[in-house]
Amino acid sequence: MVELSDKEQLRYSRHLILKEVGFEGQLKLKAAHIVVVGAGGLGSPALLYLAAAGIGELTLLDDDKVELSNLQRQVLYKVNHLGQDKVSAAGKVLVSLNNQIKINTVSAKLTADNAQQMFSGATLVLDCSDNFSTRYVVNRQCLALGIPLVSGAAIASEGQLMCFDFRQSQSPCYGCLFGKQPQQQTLNCSNAGVLSPLLGVIGSMQALLAVNIVLGHHCGGQFIRFDGLSLAQQQFQLTKAPECSECAGKNN
Ligand SMILES: [Zn+2]
Burial zone of 205 (CB within 10 Å; 0-12 exposed, 13-18 middle, 19+ buried):
buried
- For ligand 1, the distance from its centroid to the CA atom of residue 10, given in whole angstroms, is 43
Name the residues around ion ligand 1, CB cutoff 5 A.
173, 175-176, 244, 246-247
What is d(CA 137, CA 117) in angstroms, rounded to the nearest whole number?
A: 13
* Straight-line distance from the first to the last Cα atom of the chain, in angstroms, rounded to the nearest whole number: 34
- For ligand 1, the distance from its centroid to the CA atom of residue 163, given in whole angstroms, is 13
Q: Nearest CA to 58 among 19, 91, 104, 9?
A: 104
What percent of the chain has pLDDT above 90? 90
Q: What is the pLDDT of residue 30?
A: 98
- In this structure, which topology does domain 32-237 adopt according to CATH? Rossmann fold (3.40.50)
Radius of gyration of the chain (CA): 17
- For ligand 1, the distance from its centroid to the CA atom of residue 203, given in whole angstroms, is 23
163-211 confidence digits (pLDDT tens): 999 999 899 999 999 988 887 767 677 778 999 999 999 999 999 999 9
- For ligand 1, the distance from its centroid to the CA atom of residue 197, given in whole angstroms, is 31
Q: In the predicted model, is pLDDT for residue 252 greater than 50?
A: no
Q: Are 163 and 148 in contact (CB under 8 A)?
A: yes
Q: What is the pLDDT of residue 26?
A: 98
Q: What is the pLDDT of residue 248?
A: 81
34-67 confidence digits (pLDDT tens): 999 999 999 999 999 999 999 999 999 999 999 9
- For ligand 1, the distance from its centroid to the CA atom of residue 182, given in whole angstroms, is 15
pTM metric for this prediction = 0.95
- For ligand 1, the distance from its centroid to the CA atom of residue 175, given in whole angstroms, is 4
Kindly give, in sequence order, each residue whose CB lies less than 8 Å from that of residue 156, ignoring residues fewer than 6 positions away. 187, 192, 193, 194, 195
